[in-house]
Structure 1
Amino acid sequence: GLENARRQYADADEMFVGFDGEEDLHARTADRDVIVATHFGTVALVRRLRERRDDFLPAYYVQDYEPFFFDPGASESREAIDSYRAIPDGLLFAKTGWLCDLIGRLHDVPVAKVEPSLDHQVFRAGSRRRKNRGRVRVVGMVRPRTGRRQPLATLRLLDRIQTELAPNVEVLAFGCRQRELRRFAPQRAGRVENLGVLTRAEVADVLGVADVFLDVSSYQAFGRTALEAMACGCAPIVPRVGGTSEYAVHGENAYVIDTTSEEAAFEAVSDLVADRERLHRLQAEAVLTAERFSVMRAAVSEYVTFAAEYAGRGRHVLTVPEDRRPAASSGRPA
């Protein structure tokens, strides 16, 4: 919600506007040309607004394939599946070709492709402030409540890396509080240094002094943290399944692996620890790759998508008056 956004974004009160229910949102968006849901749970709200007025473009920015989040028989899974067709004239769009293709193939609905964003004001390569005496610093995100991120496999792998590759490595984890980690994996929680739950700026600080970012998720619809790591000069190891191909090229700026195999992930890290020249080459290419992405590029791609959709429906081309605030979003920050 808005409080979480305030913790993550210094300008949250300029960027986000809270609302209190459907009536309040209806009033706040009365003069808006586009209203976008960013989570499957709020698509129904945009649909109800559409039923009340027909002079705006209803849209859904699909962040992930959300039916994967739940057991097949769960009510949330059904709601997520239904969200793709919930608004008959709605525009669906996503930031990766993988996600566009998956939804199009499984649900027979078109999904427009827009550009991913990257905030270079926060995530950027600067002076690499290393105090690890030449050791390769490997960082992984551990989120026990998100099974598709394979938190236990990540923790087990980090522990193995620091044990078998010592003294040439240092490992760090972040993404959850220590007490949550102790409940989740009591035998391993104390073996890997855990930095806890971090803000965006704190994540950037950690990535800025890391060498390798490890993501062994079962899949990534996009994998934003890996791209942010690249912008900070960190070589990522990412899953083969999903949308990481938007930025990751195996052996050039990243290692793209089969994350069902712990051995494949361990060998990828071992290879980079043993071959510092290759590691540095990947890091340099990672920074160059990240430069292709920006908040402005993403915003323009979304605007062009909205304008084209508007024009295709015979409406006026969108304009953005200087005194107009951003269109309201009925979901979570992208």
Structure 2
Amino acid sequence: MDIIVCVHNALEDVQRCLGSVVSHTSPPYRLILVDDGSEAATRDYLSEFAQRHDCLRLRNEAAKGYTLAANMGLRASSAPYVVLLNSDTVVSSEWLPRLLRCADSDPAIAMAGPLSNTASWQSIPRVEEAGDWATNPLPQGWDASDMAQAVAGCGAPVFPRLPFLNGFCLLIKREVIEQFGVFDEENFARGYGEENDYSLRLYEGGWSLAVADDVYVFHAQSRSYSNERRKRLGELAAQALARKHGQALIDRLAMRCRHSRVMAGIRARSTVCPDRIRLRREGRERFAGKRVLFLLPAADAGGGANIIVSEAQRMLDMGVDAAIANLAANRQDFERAYQGLRLPVHYFRRPEELETLAHGFDAVVASIYYTVAWLRPLSGRGPVLGYYVQDFEPHWFSAGSREHREAMDSYTLLPGLRPFCKTEWNRSEVQQHTGAECRVLGPSVEVDLFRPRHERVDGRIVIAGMVRPYSSYRSPAMTMRILNQIKSAHPDEVEIVTFGVDEFDPSFQNLRPTAPTQHLGRLGSPELATVFDQVDIFVDFSTYQAMGLTAMEAMACGAAVIVPAAGGTTDFARHEHNALVVDTRDEAQCQSALERLVRDATLRQRLGQQALTDIQQFHPEGAALRMLSALFD
């Protein structure tokens, strides 16, 4: 690896940059310093630095401009990979291996660049402000390493493709330089525009450019040039770029950058990175060492189980020993549904075994109405007893039935039981019908899994709906009717995707669509995240939702959603702002809302974009910390 740093004065920036490179870059690499006519103080510093660190130092006695300086470095380079790094940057731990991993993730990638505070389309959390590129100052009390750590810790990278990469930090493969040569010195001699020209040359040559979205390099916006000169150079570069490549192509590719759903998701996630890190640290300070056991008698992956697994795993990040207790009969199916689970799972055959299993835990949490009774032997014996209420379960059963009575009694069955729920609606239902008071934790969704990963390329509008024939409140028949009608009305524009039940289940066969529909059966969370990555609209026509997890998952992927007004969806969905919230008792209103989203692309895109931004605040760390507070404060 050759790292080329071009320098023109701005000594303090240069010292910070080179200091960060030496501190955070592991060999083997070679540092090539190109001194482009710097004054004495910077010149002498570079000379001394090069001797001390065995760098190759090149110098122009008179400044020739960035492009010629960069090309000097490129021509002196011979390594398989070259990094052009501005002298006003600060790198952090693992920056180079992660950049390299991005570049090598696909042989079609020619160049890779990181995220930054000010790097045009690679900027996070904002791209523009007040009609100019955003500067995005670091959060108060943070340095570049803090932000880099937060970015790297917010989920696996997806390496989005962009037609343009900012030149402040570019990794270029040697074969690309051999094919396309160096920067255009004739049209962009003074700098500005040279990296856009190179990006366009590579794009027209069939190569891809990728963003290493697990790398953050701070960019100080160099003081080598004044703002006025920088603006003038930018204007001249834009004119030269248009003459060479045509303004139409430039505008089309710039629009791809501006409307990238994947980059929008990355920027949205970055807005809550500082808060998520803060909550993890707070959780450690307050609750590290606590032991919490969740009673989760689940076989398949489902909404309520997914939420518990997600939030319990965040407790692990807070130093809490969180674990699951499940029935031995569910073991095979559960482990198939939750492969790679970080949580320890303790299996038991009979509820009577829980008294022994729970020994040493500070809290034991029931997760469904009948598991509350399993806690009775532990009452008054030491551990805090909690109940994670995720619906008002008496609604599931006929009044007067044994299950209805048992569900109704569960909220007040044990003295000292600490119930908590997701939404204000759920709290109100429990309080109104039973007198028990639940602490509201707030909605949560696994934002590290549900996120945009690929750009939408198919021109058709993909509409997804969950169909659960055995859950009447989910309105399976009405859902299928509306989806059939919309497909019949727009046969060439719309693609319908359904999921939620095995395709050959007799109850689903009774609802078979008359219009062409792709039914995907039962989906685990990873499969559903893949589906939502390519969905434009998600519909939930349930009569009510206690929270509405699946809609939140779709929103986190940038889809426009329709959700029921009844229930807890309004804790995260705002009508006409980030969703359409409808009275699902009115089939015509549901049909009209979906028709509107199909016909109005602007509305569809606006709602999806806002949903993608808003849903980030419902990360699992917040709910996990509030649950620990509910149990132990």
TM-score, normalised by the number of residues in structure 1:
0.86
In structure 2, distance between residues paired with 1:183 and 1:135:
26
**Which amino acid in 2 is paired with 1:39?**
I
Q: 1:177 to 1:22 in 2, by over 3 A?
A: closer
**Which amino acid in 2 is paired with 1:88?**
P
The match for 1:325 is: none
The match for 1:8 is: 337
The match for 2:545 is: 220
In structure 2, distance between residues paired with 1:79 and 1:153:
31
Q: 1:273 to 1:36 in 2, by over 3 A?
A: same
Match of 2:600 among 263, 270, 275: 275
Shift, 1:232, TM fit: 0.7
Higher strand share: 2
Shift, 1:54, TM fit: 2.5
Q: 1:15 to 1:209 in 2, by over 3 A?
A: farther
**Which amino acid in 2 is paired with 1:91?**
R
**Which amino acid in 1 is paired with 2:450?**
F
Q: How does 1:1-334 map to 2 (within 5 A)?
A: 1=298, 2-12=331-341, 14-50=343-379, 53-131=380-458, 134-180=459-505, 184-185=509-510, 188=513, 191-308=516-633
1:117 is paired with a residue whose SS is coil
**Which amino acid in 2 is paired with 1:151?**
P
In structure 2, distance between residues paired with 1:155 and 1:130:
26
2:629 is paired with a residue whose SS is helix
Q: 1:210 to 1:9 in 2, by over 3 A?
A: same
Shift, 1:135, TM fit: 2.0
CA contact (8 A) 1:178 1:189 kept: no
In structure 1, distance between residues paired with 2:506 and 2:487:
18
2:463 is paired with a residue whose SS is strand
The match for 2:214 is: none
CA contact (8 A) 1:165 1:270 kept: no
Unaligned runs of 5+ in 1: 309-334
Aligned residues: 304
CA contact (8 A) 2:352 2:374 kept: no
**Which amino acid in 2 is paired with 1:268?**
A
**Which amino acid in 2 is paired with 1:62?**
V
Q: Please, which moves more after superposition, 163-172 or 203-212?
A: 163-172
2:535 is paired with a residue whose SS is coil
**Which amino acid in 1 is paired with 2:495?**
E
In structure 2, distance between residues paired with 1:232 and 1:299:
22
Q: 1:186 to 1:108 in 2, by over 3 A?
A: closer
In structure 1, distance between residues paired with 2:354 and 2:515:
46
Shift, 1:7, TM fit: 2.9
In structure 1, distance between residues paired with 2:443 and 2:605:
25
In structure 1, distance between residues paired with 2:610 and 2:511:
38
List per-residue Cα deviations over 1:125-153 (Å, max 9, x = no partner).
2223443xx22111000011111111111
1:219 is paired with a residue whose SS is coil
Q: 1:129 to 1:13 in 2, by over 3 A?
A: same
Shift, 1:290, TM fit: 1.4
Shift, 1:192, TM fit: 2.7
Shift, 1:156, TM fit: 1.1
**Which amino acid in 1 is paired with 2:443?**
P
CA contact (8 A) 2:503 2:509 kept: no
In structure 2, distance between residues paired with 1:91 and 1:127:
42
1:170 is paired with a residue whose SS is strand
Shift, 1:189, TM fit: 6.7
**Which amino acid in 1 is paired with 2:451?**
R
In structure 1, distance between residues paired with 2:402 and 2:496:
39
CA contact (8 A) 1:144 1:181 kept: no
CA contact (8 A) 2:389 2:421 kept: yes
The alignment's C-alpha RMSD in Å is: 1.8
Shift, 1:176, TM fit: 0.9
In structure 1, distance between residues paired with 2:334 and 2:367:
14
In structure 1, distance between residues paired with 2:558 and 2:377:
45
Shift, 1:193, TM fit: 2.1
The match for 1:331 is: none
In structure 1, distance between residues paired with 2:345 and 2:442:
21
CA contact (8 A) 2:443 2:572 kept: no
Unaligned runs of 5+ in 2: 1-297, 299-330
The match for 1:330 is: none
**Which amino acid in 1 is paired with 2:544?**
Y
2:622 is paired with a residue whose SS is helix
In structure 1, distance between residues paired with 2:555 and 2:376:
38
Shift, 1:120, TM fit: 2.1
2:478 is paired with a residue whose SS is helix
